[in-house]
Amino acid sequence: MARLVCARKFPGCGNIVTFAQFLFIAIEGFIFEADFGRKRPAIPLRYYAIMVAMFFTVSVVNNYALNLNISMPLHMIFRSGSLIANMILGVMILQKRYSFSKYLSIALVSLGIFICTLMSAKQVTSHSASSDEEGFVTFLWWLLGIAALTFALLVSARMGIFQETLYKEYGKHSKEALFYNHALPLPGFLLLAPDIYNHAVLFTQSEPFQLPLLGTQLPIMWFYLLMNVITQYVCIRGVFILTTECPSLTVTLVVTLRKFLSLIISILYFKNPFTTWHWIGTTFVFLGTLLYTEVWNTIQTASTKDKKDGKKD
C-alpha cells in the first residue's frame, strides 16, 4: 500500500523507493548474514554479479515504465506474467517439456494480459491531450512503456532460470542470496543519484505527519517510504525463505495471491479506471496462473487422501 501511495503522488519516485529498499536490506544482511564482511559466500561472487546485473536492470526498467503512461494496475497485471515468461524461456533454453494444462495456462495468462493492455491503450488515446498530434505522442510513450515492461519480464524470467541452475550446483542459500542481490547493486544507484536526490527534496517538502505515540512530526512521504521499506523487507525475506523451505507450488501461489491483492487494493483505494474488460482480463491472468501451479490437482489429491484416511478410521 505504501508503495502505491508513493507512486500515486509522485509517479517517478520508483528509484528512491527501490534504493531505500536495497540499502536497508544490504545493511541488515551485512550485519547479520555477512558478519561484517568476514563470512565468505557459498556461491562465487561472479555469479552473484551476473544475477545482480539482471536484478538491477529489471528493477530500474520497471520503475521507469511508470513514467511512460503505464497505470499501476496495468503494471501489476503485466508483471504477473513472469511465471509464464519463465516457462517459455525454460522450453527454449533448458529444453523443458510441460503438460497440456501448463500450455493452457500460457494461453489464459497471455489472453488476459492482451485484453488489459488493449483496454488500457484505448484509455490512453481517449484521455490524452486535446490535439491529435499530442495524443499520438502520448500513445507512442505508452507503447514504449509496454516495450519496457516486456523487456523487464523476459530479463526477470532469465534471471529465474539462472538462479535455478546456481542453486542446483551450489545449494540453496536464501539469506546469502538476499544480501548479495541487494548489496552489490548499490553502486549502480550513483547513476540515478540526481533523480533520487530530487525526489528526496520533494518528499521532504510534503505535508507533515504526526507519528503515533512518538509525538514528533515527519514529512508524510518519508513516513510512507519507511512503511514501504519495512513491509517490502518482510515480504522479500519471506519469499527467499519460502524458496528453500516450501515447494515451488506454495511459493508461486503465495506470490500470485499477493500481486492479485495489491491489484485489488490499487483499484479500490485509488479509484483507478477499471472496466468490465479489465476484470475479465484480470480473471484470465489469475485463473491461468493458478492452473499453472496445479492448485486444483493439489486440492483434489488432498481431498482424496482425506477420504481414504476417513475410511481407514
pTM comes to: 0.69
Q: Which residues pair with 208 in a beta bridge?
A: 219
Coil, strand or helix: which one is 219? strand
Instruction: Indicate the average pLDDT of the chain.
Output: 77
Q: Which three cell numbers stand for residue 282?
A: 484480470
Q: Which three cell numbers stand for residue 224?
A: 510512507
Q: What is the largest CA-CA distance in the chain?
A: 75
Average pLDDT over residues 35-64: 87
Structure confidence at residue 23 as a pLDDT band (50, 70, 90): very high
Residue range(s) defining the domain that contains residue 104: 2-312
The Cα–Cα gap between 230 and 175 comes to 17
Residue 150: per-residue pLDDT: 87
Our count of domains for the chain comes to 1
Taking 60 as the threshold, does the pLDDT of residue 1 lie above it? no
The Cα–Cα gap between 58 and 56 comes to 5
**What whole-number percentage of the chain has pLDDT above 70?**
71
Q: Which three cell numbers stand for residue 127?
A: 484521455
Residue 72: per-residue pLDDT: 66
> 289: closest CA among 33, 108, 34?
108
Buried b (16+ CB within 10 A) or exposed e, 149-165: bbebbbbbbbbbbebee
Least confident among 20-29, 63-72, 98-107, 256-265: 256-265
Q: Which three cell numbers stand for residue 181?
A: 542481490
> 24: closest CA among 211, 187, 232, 202?
232
Chain segment 90-105, per-residue pLDDT in tens: 778 877 777 888 788 8
Q: Which three cell numbers stand for residue 156?
A: 526477470
Higher pLDDT, 40 or 4: 40
Residue 191: per-residue pLDDT: 87
